[in-house]
């Protein structure tokens, strides 16, 4: 299947009916952070299509500060595993007793299996957007990259593709390893591929680490 980005050129205003909304809710509920991947490859056209969709994300001043690096080099991928292992061991040392035991059993990355590894950076000095909105809140550049990652995550799920976010890594080591411009900061390291299994509940909930909390507890009035 060849995926072509036709949606942005279509100008007829779409109608999002109740059937679509139900499906969209299913998409949100069934998106998962994936750590177990099948070994079938993810073709470049699928990945590039998902990245095109991600580029429809909102960004401060329309600055589009996302920079994605496809990490293909075998040495670099092996080094990413080493960077993860070191950070994960360090994280494990923060826990004791039952929590340490449970943490050690968690699967927190899919680095060995995922056919695609994608590093997402923010270009902190981009001239796009002419600084609009960034003077008061420079961190909005980072938020813009997260907005793009979220679209990628959901769009991937809609195509049967899984995404797993790996943050247990030293960002400076990743920047050096991937040899990116000095003005870029790491926002996310993503594993992408076809998932081995589908679940409606998050892995960390299934593992007894942290369950979802009723959203009503997080909404306030002033």
Q: Which residues bind ligand FMN (CB under 6 A)?
A: 32-33, 35, 108-109, 165-168, 202-204
CB of 55 to ligand FMN, least distance (A): 19
Among 215, 190, 212, 200, CA closest to 35: 190
Contacts 24+ apart (CB under 8 A), 50-55: 50/152, 50/155, 50/156, 50/159, 50/161, 50/192, 51/152, 52/5, 53/5, 53/151, 53/152, 53/155, 54/148, 54/149, 54/151, 54/152, 54/155, 55/148
- Taking the least distance from each CB to ligand FMN, the nearer of 133 and 202 is 202
Q: CB 202 → ligand FMN: shortest distance, Å?
A: 3
> Could you tell me the smallest distance in angstroms from the CB atom of residue 41 to ligand FMN?
22
Nearer to ligand FMN by Cβ, of 5 and 104: the residue is 104
Q: Which is nearer to ligand FMN, 34 or 47 (CB)?
A: 34
**Run of H or E including 182:** none
Q: Which is nearer to ligand FMN, 92 or 204 (CB)?
A: 204
To the nearest 10 degrees (0 to 180), the angle between helices 44-54 and 140-158 is: 130
| Least CB distance to ligand FMN at residue 20 (A) | 22
In sequence order, what DSSP letters do the residues of 129-142 get, joined into one string?
TTTTTTTT-TTHHH
Rounded (10°) angle between helices 171-178 and 74-92: 170
Shortest distance (Å) from residue 212 CB to ligand FMN = 8
129 vs 156, which CB is nearer to ligand FMN?
156
CB nearer to ligand FMN: give 9 or 210: 210
What are the respective helix, strand and coil percentages of the chain, to the nearest 5? 40, 15, 45
- Name the residue number minimizing CB distance to ligand FMN: 202
**CB of 168: closest distance to ligand FMN in angstroms?**
4
């Amino acid at each position: 299947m060849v995926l072509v980005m036709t949606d942005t050129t279509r100008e007829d205003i779409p109608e999002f009916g109740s059937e679509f909304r139900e499906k969209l809710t299913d998409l949100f509920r069934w998106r998962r952070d994936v750590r177990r991947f099948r070994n079938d490859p993810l073709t470049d056209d699928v990945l590039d299509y998902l990245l095109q969709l991600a580029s429809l994300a909102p960004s401060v001043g329309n600055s589009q500060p996302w920079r994605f690096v496809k990490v293909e080099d075998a040495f670099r991928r092996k080094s990413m595993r080493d960077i993860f292992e070191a950070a994960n061991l360090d994280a494990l040392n923060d826990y004791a007793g039952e929590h340490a035991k449970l943490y050690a059993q968690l699967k927190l990355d899919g680095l060995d299996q995922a056919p695609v590894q994608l590093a997402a950076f923010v270009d902190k000095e981009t001239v796009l957007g002419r600084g609009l909105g960034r003077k008061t809140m420079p961190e909005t550049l980072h938020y813009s990259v997260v907005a793009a990652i979220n679209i990628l995550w959901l769009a991937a799920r809609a195509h049967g593709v899984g995404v797993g976010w790996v943050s247990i890594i030293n960002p400076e080591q990743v920047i050096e390893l991937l040899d990116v411009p000095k003005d870029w900061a790491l926002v996310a390291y993503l594993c992408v591929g076809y998932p081995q299994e589908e679940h409606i509940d998050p892995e960390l909930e299934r593992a007894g680490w942290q369950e979802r909390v009723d959203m009503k507890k997080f909404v306030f009035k002033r």
